[in-house]
Structure 1
């Protein structure tokens, strides 16, 4: 699809959700389908989970496909964008939820793990953002995903928060670089959210303690985050170059 092209009134809008087989990505893919989008559900390692999301969407009358690729591999992602455009005619929205989280104190951090995480969270975000900037149709939206840990400063989150701080720096700059294209670029930075990624390795005491941090006294849900992503993907054309913190009032 040529740069700057638009979606016709008769053609459904298309969304690509990276990490779409995971907790937050899955909720976003389902929500965007409910809003009328055709959805490309990206996965890296779990084809079965991605296929489940596709079945959920098509089972309710929506359109969806599963697509695979390493978000940090620019050649693989070019092929993926080509595949989505071939299936649906173009791409209007990219929600970039793919990410890796490594928890460690700074003093004990395995630097190989840092490199692995940064490859996905930083390089992957740049690769996806670059392709979105090149390929999104006019009226489109890119939504990157950060974390409220960039503000909360909890011990053991420094490596992860540092990688997501790069995403927060990238987002408003790209929004300004796309002046005149009618494409919004924003980021969402969730607080503690009840996903398998977040809950992994935490005992019930830790989960309960984290749930009490927010004034609303609960963990977020993937659906809470999907509401914000859907807003930025659709009606919120006057929000641009921002980082939104859906975290129940934590910070």
Structure 2
């Protein structure tokens, strides 16, 4: 039977410098990963990447970081090639990259639509493609989507709409890669207590989201905490290997599918 533990494994995390991606990197290092490559998009995230690298190394794992804009197929291919060159073929690939836009459809520009599609859908697709080429047999692949995929709501058309295709990319990839023992899943957190959430929300919307989940009263902020999500990622890339082709919403009962 294949070894599905994290111990001794090699990991690539897109968007792994900070917030949930950074916590996942630290968590997998603590769980025994041998080497972790983290990706970050912009110079502004470089200090966060350096701190995450230091924490990974302090946990005993090798750590490298790569900067890239993943909205082209070539950049996704380059990220995997760089990772392989630095730490070897990954056993685990996790894509946390995304961007939120909250705006009425009638006010959305073509440039905004194209940017949201490129970040949330195109980058996810080509990350999955490269994972299919580079992951070791019995590997694990997870893409972050959003719990808004289970919502009936206005204003998030380009965000939830661009994340929605990732559900099918995930199903298709799980079928195509399954013969090699690779499991492929999507995880949709609820609104999380990170700058990723607050940048798009007015105070009244924040107040609504903080009480919208069934378990909001039991959360320190009323929102999904990154600490609520990371253990499920760890499970999916280890003992949860039998789960594949699924979209799992982790949100305290904020939405359901």
Partner of 2:39: 42
Partner of 2:20: 24
The Cα of 1:86 is off from its aligned counterpart by 2.2
What TM-score does the superposition give when structure 2 sets the normalisation length?
A: 0.89
The Cα of 1:78 is off from its aligned counterpart by 2.3
Partner of 1:236: 240
Give me the whole-angstrom Cα distance separating, in 2, the residues matched to 1:109 and 1:204.
22
The Cα of 1:167 is off from its aligned counterpart by 0.8
Partner of 1:187: 186
Counterpart secondary structure, 2:36: strand
Q: Does 1:135 align with 2:164?
A: no
1:205-250, Cα deviation, whole Å (9 max, x unpaired): 4323211111111211112111111111111121010000001012
Give me the whole-angstrom Cα distance separating, in 2, the residues matched to 1:223 and 1:42.
20
Give me the whole-angstrom Cα distance separating, in 1, the residues matched to 2:59 and 2:30.
9
1:164-195, Cα deviation, whole Å (9 max, x unpaired): 10111211111011231100000001111111
The Cα of 1:201 is off from its aligned counterpart by 4.1
Give me the whole-angstrom Cα distance separating, in 1, the residues matched to 2:95 and 2:137.
18
1:112-150, Cα deviation, whole Å (9 max, x unpaired): 111011111111011100000111001111101110111
Partner of 1:102: 101
1:223 to 220, 227, 230: 227
CA RMSD of aligned residues (A): 1.8
What TM-score does the superposition give when structure 1 sets the normalisation length?
A: 0.91
The Cα of 1:58 is off from its aligned counterpart by 1.5
Q: Does 1:13 align with 2:9?
A: yes
Q: What runs of 5+ residues in structure 1 fail to find an aligned partner? A: 1-5
Partner of 2:219: none
Aligned residue pair count: 244
Give me the whole-angstrom Cα distance separating, in 2, the residues matched to 1:130 and 1:21.
22
Moved over 6 A (4+): none
Partner of 1:51: 50
Q: Which moved more, 1:58-67 or 1:17-26?
A: 58-67
The Cα of 1:41 is off from its aligned counterpart by 0.9
